[in-house]
Chains A and B, each alone.
Chain A
């Protein structure tokens, strides 16, 4: 099950109201696009969903339960995984270790068992490695598995973030500008990948993106934010024709 409900969420930073009573839902199995001009509050909303930012009003529920009392590290456990707009990789680890670290919530081993290499820990480690190998295969990362992340091309690092997030077996995946910095072919590939995630892994996706082509192509529904408020919500076609959206957002892009 995966049902996210954002209910009149308010977030303030000093005088700035970054989110001003935003409400929408992300039902199971949908790909919801979240768009809006720079500073609209998209990443802020993601950070609320990761419990990294405090919410000053409203509520966020996942499968009927409020998440606002949970610490950030519990979010993967209840099934919400994410990637970061500005990449937040573990920069001194190899690609493989970054992905393995993503498997943390899907494994249990503690200090003592791991230090002693007890059979249970070894088995779990093997399982994590197999899973990481499969994900690297799936996301074209096998060739760079043992490389540090520092010198990888931007597109590769973006894929690595997705692989790391998938290691925890999320049911809802939050993607913050996954197409940022990608070339044309890579964006096409990404579009297919997002569909693949939904169809093959039964994932629900909330996608923040400036790349209109991508959003309109993959989303079932699109939510538009502007200055912390929801401006519109609808199918890609409805959004494309929405006068206020065209004015506030699409208009300036031509």
Chain B
């Protein structure tokens, strides 16, 4: 920046550093100005963003592919629902436990996945995604999972007599969890652990020769990724007040993947862009053309990938860089 910077540019520069704070402020005001359904949608954006963040850590930063994150999301959702309905757990305890359960599932899946080449790993996780709804419906697990019907639950109201309705409260909870996750993920990526994850993605042989335990980090990353996605699943169960097998199909895994790539796969903030994209753009496409909504959505996706190869977050980064020049 030089002394000759134009005033309007300087003004924008100031604004630029305030963008995250302004976004957070807007997000905090939102529950008091937006009504029911829109707020519910924003809650889902936050929940999707968490799941996509989990996927970004795995794929974007560690180079492991997953077409099966719907399975970890399902583990989070079902464990939460089961704990709440059969054992009377509060969601504030059930969701963290569910996250840990999903993390464990991710760890166990990550172990054999270590030996798979990327394409085969993609296929194996695809298998996981396809098997999940079937398993949830299976008659052997019916007592636990509620079979095809699934499990319905009721979400608690805001505690401590806070003057918030349950939509507002759970929106704020989701927002808080998401902000925490973004902060933790940012710290992780900017640390020794994050560099090890990225080094493995960029050059596994050099990483190993440089003292990085490639297998250990890959399974740990799988676990962390599944943990975040599982917590997202747990929150979704509470927010939607229902878990049913058909909400956890391969389509959901693809939804996360689209969100991840469109938002920017090796990006923390990209998860938020991605969450918003997968929630709003299909509706937007429907507004453009009812009959061709799918095609319009497809064009949107191709457009982003074509014109913003680093995803929406990468595009935002580029705008920022241009401004700073």
Contacts and interface: CB of A to CB of B under 8 A. Distances in A.
B212 A73 contact: yes
A92 B184 contact: no
Contacts of A124: 192
Interface centre among B187, B198, B207 (most CB of A within 10 A): B187
B305 to A, nearest CB: 18
Given A88-B209, A104-B212, A115 B203 contact: no
Contacts of A89: 202-203, 206
Nearest to B214: A73
A111 B210 contact: no
A117 interface: yes
A115 B187 contact: yes
B202 A114 contact: no
B188 interface: yes
Contact of B199 (A74, A77, A101): A101
Contacts of B192: 100, 103-104, 107, 109, 114, 121, 124-125, 128
User: How big is the A interface, by class?
Assistant: 35 or more
Contacts of A121: 191-192
Nearest to A90: B202
A117 B206 CA distance: 27
Contacts of A168: 210-211
Nearest to A149: B202
B74 interface: no
B257 interface: no
Nearest to B184: A115
Given A114-B187, A116-B187, A92 B211 contact: no
A37 interface: no
A74 B208 CA distance: 8
A200 B211 CA distance: 24
Given A90-B202, A111-B224, A115-B184, A77 B195 contact: no
A217 to B, nearest CB: 27
A71 B317 CA distance: 40
A100 B211 contact: no
A93 B198 contact: yes
Given A77-B211, A93-B198, A109 B184 contact: no
A204 B215 CA distance: 30
A114 B199 contact: no
B220 A111 contact: yes
A97 interface: yes
A177 to B, nearest CB: 16
B205 interface: yes
B210 A101 contact: yes
B202 A93 contact: yes
A126 to B, nearest CB: 12
Contacts of B188: 111, 114-115
A91 B196 contact: no
A119 to B, nearest CB: 13
B91 interface: no
B70 to A, nearest CB: 24
Interface string B208-227: 11111110000010001000
Interface centre among B192, B195, B202 (most CB of A within 10 A): B192
A76 B210 contact: yes
Interface string A83-123: 01000111111000100111111010111001111000100
Given A90-B202, A115-B184, A125 B208 contact: no
B211 A73 contact: yes
B191 A101 contact: no
A58 B114 CA distance: 30
A81 B37 CA distance: 59
B54 interface: no
A75 B209 contact: yes
Given A73-B212, A88-B209, A168-B210, A109 B199 contact: no
B193 A109 contact: yes
Given A73-B213, A111-B188, A52 B208 contact: yes
A68 to B, nearest CB: 16
Contacts of A44: none
A88 B228 CA distance: 32
B65 to A, nearest CB: 17
A88 B187 contact: no
B185 interface: yes
Contacts of A100: 192, 195
B194 interface: yes
30 contacts: A52-B205, A52-B209, A71-B208, A73-B208, A73-B209, A76-B210, A77-B211, A88-B205, A88-B206, A89-B202, A89-B206, A90-B199, A90-B206, A91-B203, A92-B202, A93-B195, A93-B198, A101-B207, A103-B192, A104-B199, A105-B210, A105-B212, A114-B191, A115-B187, A115-B193, A116-B184, A117-B187, A117-B191, A164-B210, A165-B210
Given A73-B208, A110-B193, 17 more contacts: A73-B210, A73-B212, A75-B211, A89-B203, A92-B198, A92-B201, A92-B202, A93-B198, A101-B196, A101-B212, A104-B211, A109-B192, A111-B220, A115-B185, A117-B191, A121-B192, A165-B210
| Nearest 5 A/B pairs, CB to CB | A105-B211, A76-B211, A114-B191, A88-B206, A90-B202
